[in-house]
Amino acid sequence: QVQLVESGGGLVQAGGSLRLSCAASGRTFSSDVMAWFRQPPGKEREFVASISWNGVNTYYVDSVNGRFTISRDNTKNTVYLQMNSLKPEDTAVYYCAAGVRRTVVGDSYDYWGQGTQVTVSS
């Protein structure tokens, strides 16, 4: 069974940091584009960041560029999202996703995790 399992969410004060992890199982994802999306309360899901299969190419939504870093370790079948200088508007459920091409469109990704809650207090 193919699974993506996120962890690392929690409650943090504004200006703080969190590191999210997404562990994949069931098959190797070393050839897939991996991405993070988030869904703020009462809003639509939105793209956050993506990373190419070899980790060379990364892409961020403007609102997190310079504060968040996506990375991956294909030997561990895991992708990470380091989040620094967190703001209350970063509060959301964060999801990881896997797909065959880089896109900001969530429906283009084939596999999704269950999500992890990130809450940033002011």
Nearest Cα residue to 6 out of 80, 99, 104: 80
CA distance to 57, 78, 98, per residue, from 5 (Å): 23, 9, 12
CA separation for the pair 122, 115 (Å, rounded): 23
Question: In the structure, what pLDDT confidence band is assigned to residue 117 with cuts at 50, 70 and 90?
Answer: very high
* Residue 57: alpha-carbon gap to chain centroid: 15
Q: What is the pLDDT of residue 69?
A: 98
The pLDDT tens digits for 22-54 are 999 998 898 999 999 999 999 999 999 999 999
In the prediction, which pLDDT does 1 show?
Answer: 83
Distances (CA, A) of 6 to 16, 36, 45, 67: 19, 10, 16, 20
In whole numbers, what is the pLDDT of the chain averaged over residues?
A: 96
Position 2 scores a pLDDT of 86
